[in-house]
């Protein structure tokens, strides 16, 4: 087993341990041995046979832990893709208006329409909002023929500001009693994790993971610059467009069920590059593992810091992210001396 294999094995063991801890600890702590037994038994029990402990572990905490792992992995890969295609080390999934569009769709449902479609109303509205925002960015880039990565970032920021303004208007114009729900959703949370929507987030992860690995050599070529990549046969503009579209689609899926969880896509690529290097054949799966571990650990902290009250997980990741950006700036200033 090579170095990358050892790193992957160690990461997988840590991730499994974090998932089990997430299922065991919360407002009411359950011994780890009972948690493992509940998970093992829960797969073969009917609803009528489940005890309260089985319901807590198997119906509430386990899907939440798995959601955290899958969404964290997906956001980590999206961050890698965006940082490579834009050649911007501070790019992340929420720099391009994707989260703002999803937030606007969710807030519209919370403050205006209500749950007209039942449990799926909020995820569907957020998903549509994210797709609309990404569609506007892509249409803007295509119509203005802006192929440079910095132009893509500017278009994303413009759309982000637009949908943020729409969201703020809906908050102030809507039902004030829904303000707490709106704020919690906009700061990110995994309270909507249910087995019914688990295939949706898995589809988002599979989409971005498969496409990033399929085009890993083209992504490697982009690291050398657009001109060099073009001489190597890479359709630079088309690749950038398609990568952004796939990243937007995956991000819309994740935001539609977990809200706005920031900075995961910014931090994870830097950590992964420091461990496995810049080549995407190893970088993409490493980013998936690290993102899964980071968000699962952050979700555990979010439930323990203010127990029995739950802290939005976005507050934890944003706090870590701000410290991470300070570290990047500090290291950059030392390198310039």
| Rounded-to-integer distance, Cα 203 and Cα 206, Å | 5
> What's the token pair of residue 52?
């309260």
Is residue 321 within 8 Å of residue 188, measured between CB atoms?
A: no
User: Would you tell me how many other CB atoms lie within 10 Å of the CB of residue 65?
Assistant: 24
The number of angstroms, rounded, from the C-alpha of 91 to the middle of its chain's C-alpha atoms is 13
Q: For residue 167, what pLDDT band results from cuts at 50, 70 and 90? A: confident
Q: For residue 211, what pLDDT band results from cuts at 50, 70 and 90? A: very high
Q: For residue 135, what pLDDT band results from cuts at 50, 70 and 90? A: confident
Domain boundaries, the chain: 73-336
pLDDT digits over 64-90, tens only?
999 999 999 999 999 999 999 888 887
Distances in whole angstroms, Cα of residue 64 to Cα of each of 20, 119, 164, 176, 323: 11, 16, 28, 28, 26
> What's the token pair of residue 83?
């940082």
Which of 258, 231, 255, 205 is CA-nearest to residue 81? 205
DSSP 309: S
| Rounded-to-integer distance, Cα 142 and Cα 28, Å | 52
Is residue 67 within 8 Å of residue 129, measured between CB atoms?
A: no
Q: Which of 33-37, 177-181, 256-260, 291-295 has the lowest mean pLDDT?
A: 177-181
| Rounded-to-integer distance, Cα 70 and Cα 90, Å | 22
Question: Model's pTM, two decimal places?
Answer: 0.89
**Strand extents, DSSP E, 167-260:** none
> What's the token pair of residue 225?
């610059």
| Rounded-to-integer distance, Cα 299 and Cα 293, Å | 10
Whole-number pLDDT of residue 92: 81
Among residues of the chain, what percentage have pLDDT more than 70? 88
Whole-number pLDDT of residue 50: 63
> What's the token pair of residue 269?
């690529």
For the cut 70, the answer to whether the pLDDT of residue 49 exceeds it is no
Residues with Cβ within 8 Å of residue 223, at least 6 apart in sequence: 84, 278
Peptide bond into 278 cis (omega under 30): no
Q: Which of 11-20, 124-133, 135-144, 298-307 has the lowest mean pLDDT?
A: 135-144
| Rounded-to-integer distance, Cα 326 and Cα 187, Å | 21
Q: For residue 337, what pLDDT band results from cuts at 50, 70 and 90? A: low
For the cut 80, the answer to whether the pLDDT of residue 55 exceeds it is no
Which residue has better confidence, 149 or 241?
Answer: 241
Structural fold of domain 73-336: ABC transporter involved in vitamin B12 uptake, BtuC (1.10.3470)
Whole-number pLDDT of residue 217: 95
Whole-number pLDDT of residue 277: 93
| Rounded-to-integer distance, Cα 126 and Cα 282, Å | 32
Residues with Cβ within 8 Å of residue 128, at least 6 apart in sequence: 105
For the cut 80, the answer to whether the pLDDT of residue 148 exceeds it is no
For the cut 80, the answer to whether the pLDDT of residue 19 exceeds it is yes
Name the CA dihedral angle for 85, 89, 93, 97, rounded to a multiple of 10 degrees: -90
> What's the token pair of residue 36?
């493992």
Q: Which of 118-127, 147-156, 272-281, 316-325 has the lowest mean pLDDT?
A: 147-156
Q: For residue 321, what pLDDT band results from cuts at 50, 70 and 90? A: confident
> What's the token pair of residue 34?
């009972």
Q: For residue 278, what pLDDT band results from cuts at 50, 70 and 90? A: very high
């Amino acid at each position: 087993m090579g170095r990358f294999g050892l790193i992957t094995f160690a990461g997988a063991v840590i991730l499994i341990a974090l998932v089990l801890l997430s299922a065991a600890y919360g407002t009411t702590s359950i011994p780890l041995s009972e948690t493992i037994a509940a998970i093992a038994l829960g797969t073969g029990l009917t609803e009528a046979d489940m005890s309260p402990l089985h319901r807590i572990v198997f119906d509430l905490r386990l899907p939440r832990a798995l959601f955290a792992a899958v969404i964290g992995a997906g956001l980590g890969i999206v961050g890698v893709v965006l940082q490579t295609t834009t050649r911007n080390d501070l790019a992340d999934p929420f720099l391009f208006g994707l989260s703002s569009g999803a937030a606007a769709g969710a807030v519209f449902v919370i403050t205006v329409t209500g749950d007209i479609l039942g449990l799926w109303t909020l995820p569907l509205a957020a998903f549509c909002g994210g797709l609309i925002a990404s569609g506007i960015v892509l249409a803007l880039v295509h119509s203005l023929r802006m192929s440079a990565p910095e132009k893509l970032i500017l278009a994303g920021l413009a759309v982000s500001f637009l949908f943020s303004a729409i969201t703020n208007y809906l908050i102030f114009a809507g039902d004030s009693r829904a303000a707490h729900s709106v704020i919690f959703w906009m700061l990110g949370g995994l309270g909507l994790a249910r087995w019914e929507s688990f295939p949706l987030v898995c589809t988002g992860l599979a989409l971005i993971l498969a496409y990033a690995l399929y085009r890993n050599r083209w992504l490697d070529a982009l690291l050398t610059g657009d001109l060099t990549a073009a001489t190597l046969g890479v359709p630079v503009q088309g690749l950038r467009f398609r990568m952004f579209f796939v990243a937007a689609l995956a991000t819309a899926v994740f935001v539609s069920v977990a809200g706005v969880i920031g900075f995961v896509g910014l931090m994870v690529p830097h950590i992964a590059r420091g461990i496995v290097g810049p080549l995407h054949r190893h970088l993409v799966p490493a980013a998936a593992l690290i993102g899964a571990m980071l968000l699962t650990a952050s979700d555990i902290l979010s439930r323990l810091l203010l127990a029995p009250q739950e802290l939005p997980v976005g507050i934890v990741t944003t706090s870590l992210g701000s410290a991470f950006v300070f570290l990047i700036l500090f290291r950059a200033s030392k390198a310039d001396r």
